[in-house]
Structure 1
Amino acid sequence: MTLPSRTRWKWACRTSNPLPGRGERPFHGAVRGVDDEGPGLPAGHAAPDDREVAVRDGVAEAAGVSQETVYKTFGTKAALLKAVHDVAMAGDDEPVSVADRPAAQRVRAAANPEEGAAAYAAMAREISERAGPLMRVMLASRGGDADLEAYAATLDEQRLIGTTIHIGRWAERGWLRTDPTHARDVVWMLISPAVHEMTVARGWSGDDYESWLTETLRALILRP
């Protein structure tokens, strides 16, 4: 298994598309407002276009501008969803990579496989819960918008890079019970947004998801 450099991982997970008007109201903080409060985001399984309109309306409301201004600023619905998703992934719009956030630092600081599984599951839960509403839009819209499809594919690649880094670190410590490439692929699938969305659909709580992922990592990937 080829391990990408830490530099590439940091690049891949950085908020790579600065928010239009960063440092200038009204958009600085507006996208974060949608992530925090989810204004206008319908629950359940609304049609993709309805959710996309809700995201646009939520950003416009938080920024105090018209919907037309939002679209003129971001250009496309894919760019708008990307901006909101980037903030949701990190938790804010500061230019700090996911790899340098506290959750990832706790994974690196784990002293044994048990701590590693728990820290990794907690990080996956944190990211999935923040990005969940936007991922529902992206999952439902895949195939319907070329730009959005390309961005969704990029997210899959970024998740693979991050998984590779963590699996490589566990392999170096002798914690894996299986081949590193196989372990990476299994974990990449386990933390897929689609899997998290299935647990939500089945009524699982965040604690349920985190406990399941911790136990699965310990059973399939990490040595006792």
Structure 2
Amino acid sequence: MARRADKTQANRQRMRAAAQALFTSKGYAATSMQAIADEAGMAVQTLYFTFGTKRALLSELLDVAVAGDDEPVPTLDRPRVRAAIADPDPEAQLRAQARLAREIYQRVAPVLQVVAHAATADAEIHELWETNNAQRAVVMEQLIAALATKTPLRAGLDTAEATDVALALLSPEVYQFFTVRRGWAADRWEKWTADALVTQLLPDR
């Protein structure tokens, strides 16, 4: 049974890898389930049995890329996020957030581009895009709430506005702008973002 489970998981990973390769090279709309199955060396019936729909496959690709694994653990329950929340140093929390965002975007950027492009013409993928944005907002609200228990926020900011600022600075669009369009290294973006978070959210020293 363990060997069978391992094989099933390996096959699922092969199908996800095949889908990502085709989605990023040909686009979501132009990629059929049959093409993904052929790329993975699997029967198309197996692909449908495993994921059900192409949208569900893309959704799982996005979830796994964000998490870095396929364990069903919510973002706020992941050890490094919990460690950032628990860190008593507010600046250290913000720098940890920038570091985590950089690591996530390095994994997820190609899939996010697929979702963003497909969302303009596909209502179901638009819904997936909006769900992803809503989930990011919920996570950020919790992180900023934790920050506000450690320090006063910058003068004039409440937690809602601070959440908006953090969402903007840590958005995938800003990451893509700097690292793809302007050619910044990911670690340079991380440092700039961490410095901006500290400057914009924490009181002057």
TM over 0.5: yes
Structure 1 unaligned regions, length at least 5: 1-21
Task: Give, in whole Å, the separation in 2 of the partners of 1:210 and 1:118.
Answer: 8
Q: Is the 8 A contact 2:94 2:197 kept in 1?
A: yes
Post-superposition offset of 1:76: 3.1
Correspondence 1:53 to 2:27: no
Give the TM-score normalised by the residue count of structure 2.
0.81
Residue 164 of structure 2 corresponds to residue 180 of structure 1: no
Tell which has more relative contact order, 1 or 2 (C-alpha 8 A, sep 6+). 1
Amino acid at match of 2:83: R
Instruction: Classify the secondary structure of the residue corresponding to 1:157.
Output: helix
Report which stretch shifted further, 123-132 or 145-154: 123-132
Alpha carbons of 1:209 and 1:49: their partners in 2 closer, same or farther (altered >3 Å)?
same
The CA distance in 2 between the partners of 1:209 and 1:86, in whole Å, is 23
Contact 1:113 1:175 in 2 (8 A): no
> Does the C-alpha gap of structure 1 residues 206 and 150 become closer, same or farther in structure 2, counting only changes over 3 Å?
same
1:219 pairs with 2:195:
no
Name 2:56's counterpart in structure 1: 79
CA contact (8 A) 2:18 2:36 kept: yes
1:143 Cα offset (Å)? 2.1
Aligned positions, number: 197
Give me the identity figure in percent.
Answer: 33
- Residue 94 to residue 136, structure 1, CA distance change in 2 (3 Å): same
User: How far does the alpha carbon of each residue in 1:103-147 deviate from its partner, in whole angstroms, 9 at most, with x for none?
Assistant: 312311323122112111111112111111100101111221111
Question: Is 2:117 aligned against 1:117?
Answer: no
Instruction: Name the CA shift for 1:175/1:130 in 2 (closer, same or farther; >3 Å).
Output: farther
Separation in 1, partners of 2:16, 2:189: 25
Alignment of 1:88 onto 2:65: yes
Is the 1:136–1:197 Cα contact (8 Å) retained in structure 2?
Answer: no
Letter in 2 for 1:153: E
Gaps of 5+ in 2: none
RMSD: 3.0
TM-score under structure 1 length normalisation: 0.75
Alignment-derived partner of residue 29 in structure 1: 13
8 Å contact from structure 2 (residues 62, 111) kept in 1: yes
**Whole-Å Cα distance in 2 between the matches of residues 156 and 113 of structure 1?**
24
CA contact (8 A) 2:85 2:147 kept: no
Tell me which amino acid in the other structure corresponds to 2:103.
E
CA distance 1:90–1:66, shift in 2 (3 Å): same
